[in-house]
Each structure stands twice: as C-alpha cells, then as structure tokens.
Amino acid sequence: MGAIGATQTMTVTVTSDAPDESGRPQDRREARELDLETLTACRQGNAVALRRFVGWYQDLVFAFVSRSLGRGAHVEDLAQEVFLRAFRALPRFEPAGAARLSTWLLTIASRLVIDARRKRRVPTIGLEATSPAAAAGTPETERQRQELGRALEAAAAELSPEQRDAFVLAELHDLPMSEIAVILGVPENTVKTRLFRARAQLRTRLAEHWEEEP
C-alpha cells in the first residue's frame, strides 16, 4: 500500500500529554532524528512506522504550533493536519538531502500556521517562560516565576507573527539561523533581523522584571 493510501485508513492522533516512549530529548537541536529504517518504512506507507513517526515528532510539532498560535483546541487540529500533509509528502522526502526530517516537518507546520493566521484570529498566548521540568522553589520564587511568565506572554503577544516565529524557533527550539531560514522560507539575514527586533522588544518590555531579581 502506498503512503497516500495508508493515510486514508489510518487515524492520526496527536495529543499534548501523550507518553514519550522514545526517551528522546524534546525541543533540542541535538535531539536524534527518526532512524533510517523506520523512515524508509514510513515512505512506503507502513502504518506501524507512521504511528512511530507521529510519536517521535508530535511533541516538537505541538510545541511549535502552540507557541506560535497560543493554546486551544485549534492546536491539536492543526498538528494533526501537519502529520497528514507529511504522510502524503514523505515519499518525496530525500533522507540524504540537506534538510533534517525535523526541519522539513517544521516547514510544513510553519506554512499551516501562516495559513491559520490568514483565515482567522487566534490568541497569541502560551509562550512558556520556563521548562516544564523546572524544579519547584519557594512560594515567593514560584510567584515571581509566574509573574515573569505572564509578562513574557504579554510581551510576546505584541511581537509581529514573523518575529514571534523566529523567536520561538531560535530561543525555544534552539535551532540555528540556517534551519530557521529554511523553515520560514526567508533569507538568513531576514531571520537575523526579525530575531534582533524581537529580542530588543522583549528586552525593553521585561526590563523591570529582570531588574527586580536579586
């Protein structure tokens, strides 16, 4: 069965709290890519391999979409559409090409995010200020962390969509300029300009919070 045929009989389930069966690091540039054997099976439309593909990359896709568009039911819907489009395009993906599989997948996600913004207004909240694995501190430090998180969300909401996407990919996904340029479909210098302006705007808006820290 071909890859397109497989997608017609397979249900894609993407959830934000799905268990991480691979033990892979999340949102890190050094995260391992899907192994070549499984990728080859995916490109041939193997349903088991395609489910592994989703499990491997769903945290990455969900994080990018939610950070770019804000939390809500639309995030899971869009993440599912990312994987459905990826399934159809996988036979054309070149494993030996210049783009990593995660970069290729985020490129699809980025295009869908841009389309979603054009079609409707979506809330721009949900930009995490700290890692979910951050250790709990005292009530005072927890209060300060929450205040900083709210301030970051408010400041990030004022960024342009283009600046926000560049900031998310650089600061929260730890991607290099070259990969961000591929994902967003713009020259590297454009990415640098957007990121510089985003950082400058956030630095200005959050200055008082950083100055308050001992």
Domain layout of the chain by residue ranges: 3-119, 139-212
Q: pLDDT tens digit string along 50-59?
A: 999 999 999 9
Helix axes 47-69, 101-119, angle to 10 degrees: 50
Instruction: Give residue-wise pLDDT tens across range 61-112.
Output: 999 998 888 877 888 999 999 999 999 999 999 888 888 999 999 999 999 9
Averaged pLDDT, 26-52: 81
Pick the CATH number of 3-119 from 1.10.1740.10, 1.10.3720.10, 1.10.645.10, 3.30.1280.10: 1.10.1740.10
Residues 6+ apart with CB under 8 A from 9: 47
- The pLDDT value given to residue 210: 57
CATH number of 139-212: 1.10.10.10
Sign of CA dihedral 100, 102, 105, 107: negative
- The C-alpha atoms of residue 210 and residue 134 are separated, in whole angstroms, by 18
The yes-or-no answer to whether 3-119 and 139-212 have a common fold is no
Q: Is the pTM of this model over 0.75?
A: no
Q: Model confidence over 118-169: pLDDT tens digits?
A: 877 555 555 554 444 444 567 777 666 666 667 777 777 788 999 999 999 9
Predicted pLDDT at 148: 67
pLDDT confidence of residue 29: 43
Which tokens is 161 given?
Answer: 């969509």
